[in-house]
Amino acid sequence: MLKLFRIASLAEGVSLLVILSVTVGFISRDYVFVLGMTHGVLFMVYFVLTLLVSHRQGWSVLTWLATVAAGMIPFAFIGMDMFLKKEQQTSRAPA
């Protein structure tokens, strides 16, 4: 589940940067609908996965809120990926 969440986190983070690239003017505004719809769907998938993963991993509410906030802050997905990689390693470690 963490691997799927890492992929969704990276995809959502990149889509946020692409949307911001349209705002800055790097990408034509002709693609706003397609890019916006893609980003919206990816964010909804990301949000649902935050709920599922946080419940399965036993994260606190603050950790969950930080995870949701990372989906809204540009470049925060990089830190989230590092956090999730660490979580994957600790969940694989024998008890």
| Domains of the chain by residue range | 2-88
User: How many CA atoms are closer than 13 Å to the CA of 83, on its beta-carbon side?
Assistant: 17
The pLDDT assigned to 94 comes to 66
pTM of the model as a whole: 0.88
Q: What is the pLDDT of residue 92?
A: 78
pLDDT digits (tens), the chain, 95 positions? 889 999 999 999 999 999 999 989 899 999 999 999 999 999 999 999 999 999 999 999 999 999 999 999 999 999 999 999 999 888 876 65
Report in angstroms the alpha-carbon separations of 90 from 18, 62, 73: 32, 19, 26
Q: What is the pLDDT of residue 45?
A: 97
Where helices occur in the chain by DSSP H, the ranges are: 2-24, 32-57, 61-70, 76-92
Tokens 């470049």 found at: 75
Length of the chain: 95
